[in-house]
Structure 1
Amino acid sequence: MRNLRWLVLFFVVLSSWFATPAIAAFASGTGIARVPASTGNDEGYGIALQSDGKIVVAGRCIDSGANPCVARLNADGSMDTSFNPTGAVPGKRVIDGLVINTSSFLRGVKVMIAADGRIVLATTCSLANRNYICVARLNADGSFDGAFDGPDAGNPGNGRFRLQITTSLDEVLSDVALQRIDGRIVLVGQCGSYHCVARLRATDGSYDADSADFGLLGPATADRPPGDPAANGRFLYRFPSTFNSAGVGNGIAVETSNEGKIVIAGTCGTSALELCITKLNRDGTFDADFRGDSLPVGQGGRVRILTTDESGNAVKQRAADIKMQADGRFLVQCGYFRTSSWSQCLYRVNSDGTVATSFSSGLPFPSEPGRVVYNAIGDALAFTITPGSGSYANRVVTLGNCDGVGGNTGGTSCVTAVRNGTGPASADGTIDTSLVGPNGDQLGTFNFRTRGLSLRNNDTREIVADANGDFYIVGECDGQMCVYKFRADGALDTGPCVADADADGRVSAASDGLAIVRNMLGVPIPVTIPPGLGYDIDGDGVLNASRDGLLILRRMLGFTGTALLRDIPSATTARRTTASDIESYLRMRCGIPRP
């Protein structure tokens, strides 16, 4: 034992002399890809996956004057230098000429991939103290699409332009969708105090105003508020609610159906909020068949989902995101205000606007058939539905802001998985406990802290999934746009952590532990250690023998609790700093058995 302790001390001293090379898993084995920023102030907002596995992210590049920006990553998280290869940062394109509003910033920057590989970006930008919706389109190589000129023929945009939907109202973007039936660009948000919609032609970005070609005409005049442009291709509309007869509201998220219909999840009212859903026909008129449980025949198109608490009092709800399932029904992510804080929830809505009660978690109220309150605290941000036909197909993975959960503040995000058409029918809407998180110790929901990577500018905002069940989250860390890649069970996609390094069927500090430490120090060893940063026990993005190696050795020797951490200084960027988090990671992710 005395000799072993001497060896540990020896390796700790040597750790400052050697650098350990990291072999790539995702983003050099860290599980977190970063887009370079010259001054370290970029923010990530939107993400989309290409069919070839490449990852497109969009955000706000503050170091370039708060312009929107787009970057493309290879499937391994490295920068795709074939995208804008001659730019200041190959793989990244700043959308010059558009300045993002820094004060009225609702949902940031949205990005979509068209069927032909071109990239569509939309955001809110400002000019002369007024907000506008701005749009850009890039070719697959990152160059501006010169044919995408926008609606103003006298001032062609040459790939990016500012819309002016109304003559004087503030216009804020919430979401964008590419219409499934023909690729036209649907933009939703808030103009003044009302829902607003615009649709652009895919050919040149002009307003989709041609009634002879399925143009966007909009609802009847009586349903339009003051400030409506009274022109095809864009409109404002009222959504009278229980709390506001004038119909003020905000379109939050948009989805389209295979036949060209548009579904908008929104929030109606002012201080008293109500979840409201709009369904438009292809020409923008209200879909009269979308009536929910109570509207008379012929009066459909706008359905309010009103809910009450145990005492029968109306409860605030607000929309966060919407996605269409493979069967044509819609999932709506929402916020549910209970007592003194917001909870996170999901509804399933049928094509006629009724709530699908088959979507049921079995959790107690405020969950109920049709609505799953899956996280008791936090703000719902976005969600994704896993595509494909594998074991994770149709799985719902949600993203939220959960600052305050578990005492953590400053960049705490939360992820929950919900079964959706997978497993037995009775499981539809239940929490998927196979999501066990980065440390392997959670059941269906896990929290992870982005602030642990830096002291500033750390948030997450959008999530997408691939057919393998892996999911990607965009945000910022260390003042850069960042992408986190998680495996289907919630582990960050780093290299594996295998405690039995010599594969002799047992975990030994004298053999396995010292082999792992030697590898961290760059000392030749007779066994093969898996590549990547799976052995990054404290999660600071670095393999360090004096921290990670010593933690592994101590745990193999049976140290637990405070003894496990004693006299090991915590890295300022560590994401696992408590004995319980480190214990869970070592046991569940590295396979070190309980002492």
Structure 2
Amino acid sequence: MKLHALVYCPALVFCRSVVLGALMVCLSFMKHASGAPGDFDPTFGLDGRVFTALPGWIDYRARTVKILDDGKLLVAGTCANVETEQAQYGACIVRYDAYGLVDATFGINGQAFMPFNPIARSVVLAVRPNGKVLVAAACYEVGYKTCVGQFDANGTPDPLFGNAGVARFYVSDDYTPTHNSSLLVEAGGTLVVGGFCEISGDLRWCLVRLNEDGSRGGAFTVVAFVRAYVSSTTDGETPSLLETPSGQIIVASSCATATQTRFCAVRYLQDGRIDTGFGVNGLALVTTPFGRSSYAKSAVQQPNGGIVIAGLCSNDNGPEDSCVARFTPSGRVDAAFGVGGIQVVTTLPNGFDGFFGVTALPSNEVLGAGYCYVDQQSSETLGCVARFTATGLLDVRFAVGGSASLRLFLNGSAGPMAVTSDPSGRVIIASECHTFQEWTDKYFCLARLKGGPYLASACTLNADANNTIAASSDVMLVTRYLLGFRGDALTVGAIGAGSTKTAGEIATYLDSLKNDPLKKLDLDGDGESLAMTDGLLMLRAMLGLSGDALTTGAIGKPSAAYPTLRSAQQILQWIETTHGVACLP
């Protein structure tokens, strides 16, 4: 029996025996759905994906994504306002709710715009504890400058920051800044802005501190003592800024020598001096195998304090592969990660251009995202992701063998990736994408991937409280309970392996769910908890069904008290929010 055949399972009507008999027939034929870590999350957008282009704006290029404390998403990049006499480029921010809908309460119809001219389409994003939103980019205004814009939490430019919401400045009077900027909100509210500076033909990274109002923060200007590497495109090669719990600043990037470019990191004290206790005299370097060079595109700090840098590894005549490396909190190469502190991935599809984004997951796993070509002859690109265990091995529990190539845009190609993750380990990817027919017609594209695997204890629909979420036990128990069965009639043949719960304990627990003010067994939102609707919806949801296959014939009727029932996607979202992401396959 195919999954969609459950729509035609015998109707759960007439009497308890018919309901239970129909359910047992369905369960005897059905297997658990194939939803797994790395699959698109159907509770987000349209089958896990979102595409955004708002009226009056063109050429969207997403470069960064943040999750807010309330679960909403901010995506920042560049776009152009076509309603001006000439298309005006600037930094664009779009806010989405937790499920991928544009939040029209932010800015104007969900979007905020800062009219400065970003170079190389590179925009970075930060959020203050009070909700104010910051964007930064290298910009060109009578020479190369750094521009930082601040918005109130509602997306309105903050008139108290800089000049009408934008601070424009040279990083240093002595050095010429060029390309790309980084941004860090320090615990005390000050900002650290980073970028590349050209010194006698050498590129180095430079840091400057700003006060909360966007003015320069005293004499704090740092010029790196090592040469930075920046390619001719510089897209995505912004030095990453991280803050340690004790307030030190870590810059992670690539450092160039005469023969090799390597992932590197430097730690600075609050006053801008090199922290010589970090790495070797303040510098952390990792060697890439086989004489390859490694080019950093993103970095992140793990919950355990590990410093992870991700990007591209290659040499002049060899293949280009994605790679990720880890330093300990003290700046030593972490020999427990990968091979000698670095892991090179050769299993991703053709033309993989390295990880443009990297995120740290709750249990110290790491996930990198970039783009790759469909085949060697194609210009069509896909999103490519790989998840690593805490020891740097490909996590075989994720996707297929630890990595996946994803069609983020159904009718076109995807560009550079930004990535983050939520507390449950779900992964959110932001990208630019365009149609096959029109390369200049670009969109903000988002996708959310399933996390996990999760512990069964994280799902409150685990009625028998064992180590498995199963339709054949947990859904059976809930359905029997809703039919009024108690005692042995509730539990015989419906208890999963390893459960120690008695019939009385299970009934008491399900009483608490049903009688909760949130009506935690009312899946369709009609105000009632019924086996013929809510029990069937729970069964289908746990089997991985969505859309019409989830709801056809299984939704109650609206009433004056409950005029609007939940849609299929809202039911899945409600299950995750009310009972936990572990409940769905």
| Shared fold (TM-score, shorter chain, > 0.5) | yes
Counterpart contact for 1:33–1:78, Cα < 8 Å = no
Q: 1:81: how far off?
A: 1.7
Change (3 A) 1:63 1:526: same
Task: Give the direction of change, closer, same or farther, for the CA distance of 1:375–1:137 in structure 2 (3 Å limit).
Answer: farther
1:54 aligns with 2:72: yes
Residue 159 (structure 2) pairs with residue 146 (structure 1)? yes
Aligned residue identity for 2:216: Y
- Contact kept, 8 Å, 1:29 with 1:532, in 2: the verdict is no
**1:82 alignment partner, one of 105, 109, 115:** 105
Q: Which residue of 2 aligns with 1:190?
A: 196
Q: Against the structure 1 CA distance between its residues 29 and 447, is the aligned structure 2 distance closer, same or farther, given a 3 Å change threshold?
A: closer
Q: 1:71 aligns with which of 45, 70, 94?
A: 94
Question: Compared with structure 1, are the counterparts of its residues 37 and 369 closer, same or farther at alpha carbon in structure 2 (3 Å cutoff)?
Answer: farther
Aligned to 1:116: 130
Match of 2:62 among 44, 52, 63: 44
1:286 aligned counterpart, secondary structure:
coil
The answer to whether the 8 A contact 1:186-1:197 is kept is no
Report what 2:184 is aligned to: 177
Q: Does 1:316 align with 2:323?
A: no
Distance verdict in 2 for CA 1:198–1:76, change over 3 Å: same
Pairs within 5 Å for 1:515-534: 526=553, 531-532=568-569
**Structure 1 pair 516–403 and aligned structure 2 pair: CA distance change class (3 A):** closer
Query: Is residue 111–residue 122 contact of structure 1 (8 Å, CA) maintained in 2?
Result: yes
For residues 106-128 of structure 1, what are the alpha-carbon distances to aligned partners after superposition, in whole Å with 9 as ceiling and x for unaligned? xx111111111111111122124
Equivalent of residue 95 in structure 1, options 114, 118, 121: 114
Determine if the alignment matches structure 1 residue 335 to structure 2 residue 312: yes
In 1, the alpha carbon distance for the partners of 2:377 and 2:310 equals 25
Question: Which string of whole-angstrom CA distances, capped at 9 and with x for unpartnered residues, describes residues 507-541 of structure 1?
Answer: xxxxxxxx999x59xxx96456982499xxxxxxx
> Would you say the 8 A contact 1:413–1:448 is kept in 2?
yes
> Equivalent residue for 1:163?
169
Conserved 8 A contact 1:30-1:532: no
**In structure 1, what residue type is equivalent to 2:188?**
D
Runs of at least 4 residues off by over 6 Å: 501-504
Would you say how many aligned residue pairs link Structure 1 and Structure 2?
A: 412
Structure 1 residue 403 corresponds to structure 2 residue 359: no
**Which of 408, 417, 420 is the matching residue for 1:461?**
417
CA contact (8 A) 2:226 2:255 kept: yes
Say whether residues 1:430 and 2:393 are aligned partners: yes
Residue 288 (structure 1) aligns with = 276
> Is residue 145–residue 168 contact of structure 2 (8 Å, CA) maintained in 1?
yes
SS for the counterpart of 1:62 is strand
State the Cα deviation string for residues 275-329 of structure 1 (Å, max 9, x = none).
222111111111111234xxxxxxx1123333452xxxx3211212221222323
Instruction: Give, in whole Å, the separation in 2 of the partners of 1:516 and 1:185.
Output: 45
Name the CA distance, whole Å, in 2 between partners of 1:278 and 1:200.
17
- Provide the C-alpha distance between the structure 1 equivalents of 2:247 and 2:554, rounded to a whole number of angstroms: 58
**C-alpha distance 516-434 of structure 1, shift in aligned 2 (>3 A):** closer
SS in structure 1 of the partner of residue 303 of structure 2: coil
Q: Provide the C-alpha distance between the structure 2 equivalents of 1:466 and 1:69, rounded to a whole number of angstroms.
A: 23
Paired residue for 2:267?
279
Change (3 A) 1:43 1:37: farther
Distance 1:66 1:304, change over 3 A: same
Question: What value does the CA root-mean-square deviation take over the aligned residues?
Answer: 3.7
Q: Structure 1 residues 140, 431: CA separation in 2 closer, same or farther (over 3 Å shift)?
A: same
For 1:159 and 1:381, locate their aligned partners in 2 and report how far apart those are by CA, in whole Å. 29
Write the distance in 1 (CA, Å) between the matches of 2:567 and 2:93.
33
Amino acid at match of 1:278: V
CA–CA distance in 2 between the matches of 1:95 and 1:358? 44
**Secondary structure, in 3 states, of the residue corresponding to 2:145?**
strand
Amino acid of the residue matched to residue 110 of structure 1?
Answer: V
Structure 1: distance between partners of 2:546 and 2:347: 41
Task: Evaluate the alpha carbon distance shift between residue 109 and residue 445 of structure 1 in structure 2; reply closer, same or farther with a 3 A threshold.
Answer: same
- Contact 1:399-1:413 at 8 Å conserved across structures: yes
CA contact (8 A) 1:144 1:159 kept: yes
Instruction: Say if 1:533 and 1:327 are closer, same or farther in 2 by CA, change over 3 A.
Output: closer
Alignment of 1:213-232 (within 5 A): 232=219
Q: CA deviation at 1:31?
A: 3.0
- CA separation in 2, counterparts of 1:516 and 1:169? 55
Structure 1 residues 406 and 471 mapped into 2: Cα distance closer, same or farther (>3 Å)? farther
AA at the equivalent of 2:448:
K
Query: Contact conserved, 1:472 with 1:486, CA < 8 A, in 2?
Result: yes
- For residue 133 of structure 1, what is the aligned residue in structure 2? 146
User: How far 1:257 moved relative to its partner?
Assistant: 0.6
Cα displacement string for residues 427-458 of structure 1 (whole angstroms, at most 9, x for unaligned residues): x222212212xxxxx221000134x53447x3
* Corresponding position of 2:430: 474
Which position in structure 2 is the counterpart of 1:356? 334
The answer as to whether partners of 1:344 and 1:376 remain within 8 angstroms in 2 is no
Query: Residues of 1 paired with 2:553 and 2:288: CA distance?
Result: 64
Residue in 2 that maps onto 1:365 = none
Distance in structure 2 (CA, Å) of the matches to 1:143 and 1:328: 35
CA distance in 2, matches of 1:430, 1:143: 44
Partners of 2:282 and 2:51 in 1: CA distance? 42
CA distance in 2, matches of 1:83, 1:238: 42
Whether the aligned pair in 2 keeps the contact of 1:342 and 1:376 (CA below 8 Å) is no
Tell me, yes or no, if the aligned pair for 1:175 and 1:189 is still in contact at 8 Å.
yes
| Distance in 1 (alpha carbons) for counterparts of 2:330 and 2:552 | 65
Counterparts in 2 of 1:37 and 1:398: CA distance versus 1, 3 Å: farther
Aligned-partner Cα distance in 1 for 2:57–2:191: 33
Q: Does 1:303 align with 2:284?
A: yes
1:178-226 residue CA offsets vs partner (Å, 9 max, x unmatched): 22x32322222211232233333342112222xxxxxxxxxxxxxxxxx
1:381 and 2:356 are equivalent in the alignment? yes
Contact 1:252 1:265 in 2 (8 A): yes
1:487 aligns with 2:493: no
- Label 1:337 to 1:376 Cα distance change in 2 as closer, same or farther (>3 A): farther
Question: In the superposition, relative to structure 1, how do residues 325 and 122 fare at CA in structure 2: closer, same or farther (>3 Å)?
Answer: same
Partner of 2:406: 448
For the 8 Å contact 1:29–1:531, the answer to whether it is kept is no
Q: Report deviation, 1:462.
A: 0.5
Find the aligned partners of 1:462 and 1:481 in 2 and give their Cα distance.
11
Identity %: 19
* Counterpart Cα distance in 2 of 1:394 and 1:82: 35
Contact 1:58–1:71, Cα closer than 8 Å, also in 2: yes
